[in-house]
Structure 1
Amino acid sequence: MGLKYGKVSTQIKSKAIEIIDSESSLQLWKEVGKKELEERKLILNELRESLIGLKNE
C-alpha cells in the first residue's frame, strides 16, 4: 500500500477512507464490547489521519 514510503495511490487512499468513514467494519466490534469498539474507532481514526497526510502516487 505504500505506507512505508509515505506514498499511496489515490484510488487506494480514497477507498480506505471511504471504508473507515462508512463504519461498516465496526459491526463485529459492537458485538465484542463497548470498550473494544471505542479503541477500534480511535485506531481507525489515526489510520484515516495518516492516510490523509500521505502523498499521492
Structure 2
Amino acid sequence: MALIAASGSAKVIAVHMDALDHCRTTRASLRKKAEEFGVANDKLIILEDAELFDLSK
C-alpha cells in the first residue's frame, strides 16, 4: 500500500489473484486492505480472471 500511495498518478494493476499455488492474496483481501489505506478503485485496479483492461485510459 505504501508503494501505491507513493506512485503519484500511476495506476497499479493487480493480477494473478486467488491462486493458492502461488498467490494466497485474494481479490477481496486486497480490496479490503486498499480501502483501509484509502486507495481508490481507479488507483488500484484488481482484475478478474481473463478480464481485459484498456491501458489507453
Report TM bin, short chain: 0.3 to 0.5
The structure having more radius of gyration, on CA atoms, is 1
TM, length-normalised to structure 1: 0.33
What's the TM-score once normalised by structure 2's chain length?
A: 0.33
Which structure has greater helix proportion? 1
Higher relative contact order (CA 8 A, sep 6+): 1
